[in-house]
Amino acid sequence: QGPPFPTAAAGGGGRCCLTAPLELHEMSHAAERPYRCELCGKTFAQTSALVKHQRVHTGEKPYKCPMCGKTFALSSGLVLHKRIHTGERPHTCPLCGKKFISSSHLALHLRSHTGERKYKCSVCGKLFLQSSHLVRHKAIHTGEKPFKCEDCGKNFGRASHLKTHRRVHTGERPYKCDKCGKNFRSSAHLMSHQLLESGERNFKCTTCSKAFKQASSLKQHLKTHEAREPHRCSVCSRTFSRSSYLQIENLLVERDSNFCPCLAQSSVLLKYCCLWLVNLLHWEHLEIP
């Protein structure tokens, strides 16, 4: 912990050497915000903050990415954006090890561990971590897709999706991997590529602890844990989680067999070597002599 914030009193009545920071600090306590935006009425404690805010109204974006040309209203926005190109992710989740380009992204991610979902859809009741996710979700109910591609006529619910899509027509691939030089149409494609190249497995299944390189792979894996329609035996109505076991049992019934399944010389069975496990689990239900 650093030393106390310097004050005029601390120096025996003399003026603080850090006058400007001290005055700004005191203004924050007094809630003084003398600088007012003439367009929307919002007030600010510093002129620099007002200047930055006014870019919301003017649309000015003076900070340009030298790699892809994207522009930003704030220098901090450009700094964060550059990390997409460099792959830098300095903020790490202490719970799962996943890395993020900013502390705000990490804070949002932490809600996925706590289960906090504050934003609720008034139509279906679904909850979301972020308000922006709720706004995007609502388009599902309205069917609204206001952004249209001039080249092929395809419509999109978000401007960012249209922008990425248009690169299919232009051939533009502004996101470059700094390790192999390969270019990609979107930052998401670049990040997926970098995860595959790094070998990191940040996406972990909470059911079986298996880890994956990509979120899409984890999503596909989770389906194996979901309840599915069981495979039912036509003789005793016993259910199986795998259709292959049911195929084996049906073949045994058809041949009236009571020997090891691998001796049946069936292509379905040979790949399992010897499946006495099926007999142990199911034989007594069949009552085959």
The CATH code that applies to domain 145-222 is 3.30.160.60
| Cα gap 47→243, rounded to integer Å | 70
Mean pLDDT of 248-266: 48
Least confident of 194-198, 229-233, 246-250, 263-267: 263-267
pLDDT at 208 over 60: yes
Instruction: Give the model's pLDDT for residue 32.
Output: 76
Q: pLDDT per residue over 34-85, tens digit each? A: 888 988 888 888 888 888 888 888 888 999 999 888 899 888 889 999 988 8
Question: Integer distance in angstroms from the first to the last C-alpha of the chain?
Answer: 82
Mean pLDDT of 248-258: 52
Instruction: Give the model's pLDDT for residue 239.
Output: 57
What proportions of the chain, in percent to the nearest 5, are helix, strand and coil?
A: 45, 10, 45
Instruction: Give the model's pLDDT for residue 14.
Output: 40
Instruction: Give the model's pLDDT for residue 185.
Output: 87
pLDDT at 231 over 80: no
| Cα gap 79→77, rounded to integer Å | 5
- CATH 3.30.160.60 at 16-58, yes or no: yes
pLDDT at 152 over 90: yes
> Mean pLDDT of all residues in the chain?
73
pLDDT at 106 over 80: yes
Question: Strands 127-128 and 119-120: what pairing?
Answer: antiparallel
Q: Give CA angle at 186 (198, 53), nearest 5°.
A: 110
Mean pLDDT of 192-217: 78
Instruction: Give the model's pLDDT for residue 253.
Output: 54
| Cα gap 282→284, rounded to integer Å | 6
Band of residue 142 on the pLDDT scale cut at 50, 70, 90:
confident
Residue found by looking up tokens 């109204």 in the block: 57
Q: Which residues, other chains included, contact 184 with Cβ-Cβ below 8 Å and sequence gap of 6+?
A: 173, 175, 176, 177, 190, 193
Band of residue 226 on the pLDDT scale cut at 50, 70, 90:
low
pLDDT at 114 over 80: no
Of residues 282 and 106, more confidently modeled:
106
pLDDT at 116 over 70: yes
Of residues 99 and 133, more confidently modeled:
99
Instruction: Give the model's pLDDT for residue 230.
Output: 55
pLDDT at 27 over 60: no
Band of residue 21 on the pLDDT scale cut at 50, 70, 90:
low
Instruction: Identify the top-confidence range among 84-93, 198-207, 226-235.
Output: 84-93
